[in-house]
Structure 1
Amino acid sequence: MVWWAVAWSARRSLSALVAWAFFLPLANPDLAARVTSTAIFGVLSAVNVIVVGLLNVAVRQVIAQEENLRILIKSSPTGIVVVDDDGRIKLVNSSTEKLFGYARTELLGRNVEELVPHGRTASHLSKRSSARRRGPRRFSAPPACR
C-alpha cells in the first residue's frame, strides 16, 4: 500500500496513478487478480461493443435490401405473387390485382391454388411441393447471354 501513499502525496493525476498501478510489479495477489479481472472485463466489453455495432450495421443492410425488394416487386409491370411454404399469399403487386381482379387485401393470406385454373390445381400443387423439397434455386442467364 506504500505506492498509493506515494502517488497521493505527489499529487499525481488519476491517469498517472492508473498507469503506475498497471505497470508496477504486482506483489499483492489480490491486486493481481483485480487487475487481471478488470483487464478481461475491459477487453470483453470492447469486443461486445464491436459485435453489437457490426450486428446493427448488418440488420440495417438486411432491412434496406428487403425494402428495395418490396419496392421492386410492387413496381413491376408483371404480376408477382410471393407465397410462404404452406402456399399462403404473403405479398402481391398491383399488376397481380389487375390480372386477377382481386384487391390486395382479398389475396393476402389466401392459398395460391385459389388463383390457379380449376383443371391445373393438382399439377400446380405437385410442382410447388417438388420445388419446396428441392430448396431455393438461383437462376442465371444462359451461357450464350453471359
Structure 2
Amino acid sequence: MIEEHTDHGGDASATSPGSAAGGKRKRTKRNRRVPIDRRTRAARRLAELEAAYLAPLGDDVTEGDRTQARLAATLAVQVERMRERVARGEDVDGEEATRLANATQRALAPLQRRVKAKAKGSKMAGLTARQRLEARRNGGEA
C-alpha cells in the first residue's frame, strides 16, 4: 500500500506542535540533578567518591564543583575497575590506564585548588589588612 504524503506548505505549526507558531513550548528544567541508583557496587562507589571530593568544601559547593566531582568520581571508578582487571591477571592497555589516571588528576585539580584557597582564606581571616598584605608578600605564609 502506498501512503499519501501531504505537503503543509512550509507551515511550521502543522509539522511541529512545539514550535513558536504552533503553541506554547514545554519548559524543562536545566541542570537537573539525576540521582545515582545505588543498587550496584559501582554506583555506590561513585556516590561515595563524589561526596568525599566535595566534603572539604563544606557548604560552599557550587554546581561547577558538583560537576567536577562527578567527572572525577566517574574517572576514578574506571581507574579502579582497570586496577581490578590487572589484579585478576587480565590484559590491560597501559596507555589507556595512564590516560585515565591523568584525566582523573586533571578533574580533581580545580577542586583541590578550591580546598586550598578555602584553607588559606580561613587562616588569613583573623588577620588585619596589613598582616594579610605582608603575608601575601611573603608567599602566603601567615
TM-score, structure 1 normalization: 0.25
Q: Which has the larger radius of gyration?
A: 1
Higher helix share: 1
Tell me: higher relative CO, structure 1 or 2? Use CA pairs within 8 A at least 6 residues apart.
2
Q: Structure 2 length normalisation: TM-score?
A: 0.26
Structure with higher strand content: 1
